[in-house]
Amino acid sequence: MGAASRTPEQLLMRLRRVGGLFALFFTVLFASIHWILDEIRDTAAAPLSRTDLVARVGEAADRLNLALLVAAAALVPVFGLAFALVRRYVKRNHLQELADSSFRKSQFVAMATAEIRNPLNAIAGFADLLDGGAYGPLTGAQRGAVEEVRRGAAGLKTLLVDIVDQANVEAGRVALARSEFRIGDIMTDAARAVGALAERKGVTVALAGPVDARVTADRNRMRAVTVNLLVNAVHASPHGAVVECVADAAGDRVRVTVADHGAGVPAADLPHLFNEIRQVRSARAVREGLGLDLAVCRRLVELNGGTIRADNAPGSGARFTFTLPAAALPAAA
C-alpha cells in the first residue's frame, strides 16, 4: 500500500509505533548514562592513585560521549520519520476538512438556489400575466416596467445558473456535453449577451477572424467563458473604446482572443490571474454581477481540452486567449 493510499488510522498507528521507538530508545540511553555515571562514582570512591583515577574517569567520560554521539546520530532518522508522518497525517486531515467544507458549500448552494428559483419563477409568471393583459390593459409606461421586471428576473436566473456552475466546477462535478459547432456561434452569442452593458459603457464589441472554424467542446460552457472575458474587457475599457474578439484557426487548434484597451494587468499579477487561491487586485474595473471567475474559466477550458492565458497588449490593454480542439475534418470519399 502506497503512502498516498494510507488512511488516517494507519498513519496514526505508525506514529504510535514511532512513539514507542522513541520511548525504548530513550530508556536504553538513560540506562547507559546511569551505568556510566555509576562507574565514574565507584571509580572516584576507590583507593586509587591520582593517575589511575584520572585515567578511569577519562575512559568513562569517553564512553559517555560515545553514547551521546550514537544517540544523536540515531535520533536524526527517527525524528525525520516522525516529522514526515506528522506532516502526512496533518495534510490528510486538512484535505479531508477541505473536502467536507466544499461538500457543505455545494449543499448550501443547491438548497439556496432551489429556494430562490421558486419565487423567481413566480415573479416571471406574474410579469407574463400582466404583459398578456390578464389584469387589464397596460399603458406604455406600465408595459415598460413589466418588461424591466421580466428582464431582471431573467438576469437573476442567469446569475443562479452561474452560481451553481461555479460551485460544481470547484467541487469537480462537471458533466460536459461536447458537440461540434462554429466558433463564431459562441462569439456572436457572447457579444449579444454583453450588448446592453457595452452600450451603457459606450464601448463597441467587434468580432473578427475565421468565425466559420469549427470546434468540438461544450458549447454552453465555452459561451459562458467568452461572455465572462467580454464582460471583463468591457468594464476595463474607457468610453469610446473597441473590445476585439478575434478567432484564429491554426492546425488542430482554434484560438479566441479577447482584447481591451484599458489599463492592462500589472506584470506581477499576470502569473496569478487564474489562481483560485490568490485574489488579484489590479487596475481593471470590478465587473457587475457574479459571472465565472478566471480560475473557473481556466478549469472549464482545460476540461474541454484547451488552454487559456493572459498577457498585456503592446501599448495598452490586456489580452485573454483560449484555445479549443478543432473539429475533425470529414474523411475523404
> Going from the N-terminus, what domains does the chain have, and what CATH number goes with each?
1-173 (no CATH), 178-325 (3.30.565.10)
Cα→Cα distances 189→45, 105, 207, 232, Å: 99, 31, 11, 16
Cα→Cα distances 34→16, 24, 79, 151, 293, Å: 27, 15, 24, 86, 66
**Three-class SS state of 13:** helix
* Rounded-to-integer distance, Cα 62 and Cα 261, Å: 78
pLDDT, position 133: 83
Query: Could you tell me which residues come within 8 angstroms of residue 72 by beta carbon, excluding any fewer than 6 positions away?
Result: none
Distance, C-alpha 113 to centroid of its chain: 22
pLDDT, position 49: 65
pLDDT, position 45: 65
pLDDT, position 283: 40
pLDDT, position 257: 94
Q: Which of 288, 293, 321, 258 shows the shortest CA–CA distance to 169?
A: 293
pLDDT mean by block of 10 residues, the chain; 333 residues: 53 66 67 68 65 67 67 61 65 61 63 71 82 84 84 72 67 77 93 88 92 90 90 90 92 92 81 62 40 75 92 81 84 45
Note the pTM of the prediction, 2 decimals.
0.55
pLDDT, position 2: 47
Answer yes or no: are the C-beta atoms of 79 and 18 closer than 8 Å: no
pLDDT, position 147: 84
Residue 301: CB atoms within 10 A of its CB come to 22
With both helix axes pointing from N to C terminus, report the angle between 8-45 and 50-131 in degrees, rounded to the nearest 10.
Answer: 160
